Every structure is written in structure tokens, then in C-alpha cells.
Structure 1
Amino acid sequence: MQRLVLSFVLAALLNICTGADWCYQSQVTCGGHCKGPVFWNQVNTECGKSRQSPINIVTRKTVLDETLTPFRFNGYHTAFSSYIKNNGHSVQVNIPDNLATVSGGKLEGTYKAVQFHLHWGNNGGPGSEHTIDGEQYPMELHIVHMKEKYSSLTDALKDRTGVAVLGFFYEESSSTNRRYDDFVQALGKIQNTSMNTTLNSISLERLTLSPGNMTSYYRYEGSLTTPGCTESVVWTVFEHAIPLSRTQLKTFSSLRFHDGKPMVDTFRPIQPRNNRVVYRSGTAVVVASVGLLVASLFVTLGLSRPN
């Protein structure tokens, strides 16, 4: 009986010492104690609900919403200094309070930027959380915002639309993205969990897309993609991807989880859409329509020319 009690105590201590009950699938081992994505609902029941993220966006099933107008970004161009930290699951940068906001795009008012983090694969392989028509990109950036009226993310998550996350894909490029030089170099200083270093003079504008590439996007209601998986997120997933070289993408895989394993495949698998509607902005459709019109015109002119 004493041995049985001792076993339970040791198991409890192991859970406390690891610092987290949940982990990514790449961390799961036969003798391990963390719960992979399939069992996250045992860590938090929210993870088993019906409006979970990420999802696969099937473009032909998206619904055009012409009220999904371009966003209004305020402070995205403002340079700031902050810590970049290996938090044991990803790299995260906290954004100074009230530095940057986003509105428009059919959001319910103005949302202020709180932090950003990333999800990636293994040495530049597939690693984004959301997928487009089944395609998984190498990496995905999440800029987390909350409604201006809230003073903490905890409070914002109690509101069904309290949090707005802007998601950006990355794609492999043949050339180095110099805008990311300082960010990628900082990764070498935060290899292990809880390590951090200072990032100087960065801006959200520098890390994202040009304004012209931020008008085509998808919108749906979902959740956080890590436990507690709270279903209070208005998701915006941009169509265009940020270019990074293969070497830059691979640098993220040099980080390590809290257990010392390589920090790779840090994404939650696709969740059921459960009849949720995914909307698309009107701009993407307009651009596509213009392209089709021009192509049709060339074909028509070509056919009308005499031999």
C-alpha cells in the first residue's frame, strides 16, 4: 500500500517538475509524462470543444464578405525594444502596452497588440498551424491583440471576441530576408528554456508584410492553439506569406524544449471546422477577378486576330 501511495506522489511530483502537463507531439515518448495534442482535452476541457483552432482553410468553401475591409494599423511602424524569450514551447516577444493597435477589417472596435510568437516545423519543413487547401507552410507568426478596454489577456479571454490574432505564413525564399537579421541572430542567445535576450529597435511593420499584401485575408471564429484553448479568438489569416531563406527557417529548430529536446514541430494539428463559416476579404476576389478579366481579354483578342 505504501508503495502505491509513493507511486502516486512521485507521479504528481514529476508533473510539477516538468512545469507543464501538455506538450507537442514531437516531445511525446513512451516513457514520458506530458500529454500530446490528442490528449489536450485532459489538460483543459476547452481543448475538446467545437470552435477550436487551427483549421484547414478550403478556399472554394470560403464565403466572400465585402465588409472585410483593409485594416487600420496604428503604431505598427513604431520601433521598440523588448525581450525575446524561449518560454519552453516557442519564442515570444511581449509588446509594450498601448504601443500598437489594429482596427477596421470588421473587428469589434480597436484591439491593442500584446505579444507575438511563432510556430514552426523541423529544419524548415512544414510547420504552420493553419493550412490552406491542405498546404502547410514552414512557419506561422501570431500577433496577439486584445480589446482596448481590457487590462489583461485573462480578462479579454472571458469575452467571446475579446482577442484578435493576426496570423502570417512564412515561405522559403532563395534570398535572405534582411529585415529578420536581428531577430534570427537573437535565437542563438535563447537556446534553452527561460533564456531571454534584448531585441532593440524592432517594429511589427518590419516583421510582417507590406501594406499592399495585407488586404487579402481569411476570417473565422476560433480559439487559442495551446491549452487552455479558450474559444475567444477572432482569427485573421493573411493570404500572402513572408519570405525567409532556408537557413533562416532552420535556425528556429536550434532551440530546445524544457526537456532538452530540439524545439521542432511546434504546431497543433488541424481541428474540425464543425460547420463554422470561413470568410474571405473582398480584395482578394477583386484582384482575382481582374486577373481573369485580363486573361479573357487576351484570349478574345488572340482568337479575333486574322491568320
Structure 2
Amino acid sequence: MAFILSLFGAAVFSIFTTVLASSEWCYNSDDCGPEEWPNIHPLFCSGNEQSPINIEVVETKWNSSLTNFCFSGYSDPRKLHLMKNTGHSVQVDFADGVTISGGGLNETFKALQFHLHWGNGSSVYGSEHTLNGCGFPMEMHILHIGEKFANVSEAIKQNGIAVLGFFIDVATTVDNNQAWEDFVNILPNISSPDEKWQNAFPFSISDLLQSVQKTKYFRYRGSLTTPTCDEGVTWTVFEKPILVTHKIVDKFATEVFINKSTNVRLVNTYRHVQKLNKRTVFTSTSAFARFKAEGQTMALVAICLIWLTL
């Protein structure tokens, strides 16, 4: 009898773990949201090198090998292949021929897709990473794998994934937001999950990144920020954000749906920061260069204050 109960218990446990492993994850429910991911996908989502993280600038370490990136294909609109609503995010897939090298990376990486994370409008934060404890309204991730790998599944087994992360912040005036306006104008075409848009893109990825200072960035070892949260990802998070108007951010929170028929909007699509544990976050900016830049800013402020008192 005990043997039969043991077999029954093992069978139940097997069925339970199979169901658990195949469970769908989400952002908008207590049953499958980020707090449950370590239970739904325990192999990696409960690991010690998880992403995103909070980046404390004063605790970063300068690494002289973090040189300038070489971006290839980034300026070609024809390299943007397909936009879709994945049910978790808005994602744009790349055609072949978009790569990055340099930047302290040990090989050339090819871009597969970029996607975005956001909160619930421009007045709240929705970024995954935070900087000095502060979040931003949105964040964009560009996913790359090593050129020698065929797909993400193959690359992740050998630490062959590199992700570029860009904060997106709101500014009252922006010099040129045309690329982002063109981007959000496409959103009504993919308002429901699994809807796709495949036409000639009126912008390139470089157009979306034009306000970013690409020589200042942070580097650390982390994970994918969605299940199965595989670790071994080389993260690059750029310090200066992409600047857009509040209307751009609000479009993502109001025109993308999980279920359009029931008016359930896709919002708060981010994972909270994870523990850094024993990892080190590196920076491409030396303490001297940072001090010099900050010193120049303070000097200009001082000059302005003196001028105002005259």
C-alpha cells in the first residue's frame, strides 16, 4: 500500500511540475506576475545573477576596455523587418545584417529584435533598470546573439547573448521626435496580441537612438528579464536616456492591449530590480572624466548665479 501511495505521489508531483514548468507568465496578475516567476520558472528566475538591477553610479568600477561601439546596419530602415504585439510587449524584428562589435565585447553580435517596457503613462515609471534608485517612464532593449549562433536557445547555453538597454525619459521640448511619432503611429495596427505589421519602416533604429550619448554606458553580467530568466547575458545599459514627449509614452499605455475586446490594456510591463549580490557593475566613464564633466556643469551654474546677482 505504501508503495502504491509512493507511486501515486510521484505521479502527482510529476504532473504538477510539468504543469508548473509550462505555465504562462504575465505582468498583470498575481497568479502569473513577476513575483511568481521564481515559482513558475525556478531554474533561473530565482538565480543569483538576475536582471534588471539598480545601478548606483558611485559604486561602479571603471573598465578601460569599455571602448566605443561599432554599429552596423543600425542606420538602414530596411533592416527593420516586422513589428508585432507579443502579448507582453511591442517587438520589432530585424532583417539580417545588423550587428554590433567593440564596446568591450569579445565578438561580433547580430541583432534579432528590440522591444519595450513601460508603466501606465508618462507620469509613472516603467523602466526595468533604475539609475541611483530612480526609474524612467520606459526602457528599450535590443537583443543580440553571437554571430556563430543560430538562435537564442543555442546562444544562451554559451553566454552568447548581449542586450543593449536604453532608458526613455520625457522632455517638455524635443529637437526631433519624428521617428518616435512614426513609431507610435503604427501601434493601432498591432493593438491586439499576435497582430503584426510588415511594411516599409519610415525610420531606422539609429533614428530612435539619436539623442543617446553612446560612449557612456554601464556593463554587468545578468539575465533575460522575462521567463525563463536565463542567466549569462552581457548587459550594456546606456547612462543618458532617449528623450521623447509625454504623448509618445502615453500612446504605448493607451493603444496596446492584452485583450482589446474587453478593453484590457497592456501596462506595467516591467520586472522590478533584482539583488546585485556579488556582481560588479562596470562603467565606460572614468572618475576623472565624470568629475570633469560634472565640474564643468557646476562651473556653468556658478557663472549663471553670479551673472544673475550683478
Give TM-score, length-normalised by structure 1: 0.83
What's the counterpart of residue 120 of structure 2? Answer: 122
Cα pair 1:182 1:199 within 8 Å, conserved = no
CA distance in 1, matches of 2:134, 2:272: 13
What's the counterpart of residue 194 of structure 1? Answer: 194
Equivalent in 22, 27, 32 of residue 35 of structure 1: 32
CA distance in 1, matches of 2:248, 2:297: 37
Give the count of matched residue pairs.
280
What's the counterpart of residue 98 of structure 2? Answer: 100
- Cα deviation for residue 232 of structure 1 reads 2.1
CA distance in 1, matches of 2:182, 2:299: 46
- Cα deviation for residue 181 of structure 1 reads 1.8
- Cα deviation for residue 175 of structure 1 reads 3.6
Label 1:130 to 1:294 Cα distance change in 2 as closer, same or farther (>3 A): closer
CA distance in 2, matches of 1:151, 1:297: 51
Equivalent in 258, 262, 267 of residue 265 of structure 2: 262
Cα pair 1:56 1:133 within 8 Å, conserved = yes
CA distance in 1, matches of 2:293, 2:225: 36
Moved over 6 A (4+): 296-299
Gap runs ≥5 in structure 1: 1-7, 300-307
What's the counterpart of residue 303 of structure 1? Answer: none
Q: Counterpart of 1:257 in 2: which secondary structure?
A: strand
- Cα deviation for residue 282 of structure 1 reads 2.6
- Cα deviation for residue 197 of structure 1 reads 1.3
Gap runs ≥5 in structure 2: 1-11, 303-310
1:229 matched to 2:203? The reply is no
Computed over aligned residues only, the root mean square deviation of the Cα atoms, in angstroms, reads 2.8
Q: Counterpart of 2:139 in 1: which secondary structure?
A: strand
Query: What do the CA deviations read for 1:144-190 (whole angstroms, capped 9, x no partner)?
Result: 00101011111001112x00000001111224611212210111111
What's the counterpart of residue 209 of structure 1? Answer: 210
What's the counterpart of residue 155 of structure 2? Answer: 156
CA distance in 1, matches of 2:23, 2:85: 15
CA distance in 2, matches of 1:226, 1:153: 13
Label 1:116 to 1:159 Cα distance change in 2 as closer, same or farther (>3 A): same
Label 1:228 to 1:287 Cα distance change in 2 as closer, same or farther (>3 A): same
- Cα deviation for residue 191 of structure 1 reads 1.1
Equivalent in 250, 257, 282 of residue 285 of structure 2: 282
Label 1:225 to 1:252 Cα distance change in 2 as closer, same or farther (>3 A): same
Query: What do the CA deviations read for 1:33-85 (whole angstroms, capped 9, x no partner)?
Result: x4111110122121000000000001111111122111111111112142210
- Cα deviation for residue 206 of structure 1 reads 1.0
Identity of aligned residues (%): 39
CA distance in 2, matches of 1:112, 1:253: 30
- Cα deviation for residue 231 of structure 1 reads 0.3
Q: Counterpart of 1:136 in 2: which secondary structure?
A: coil
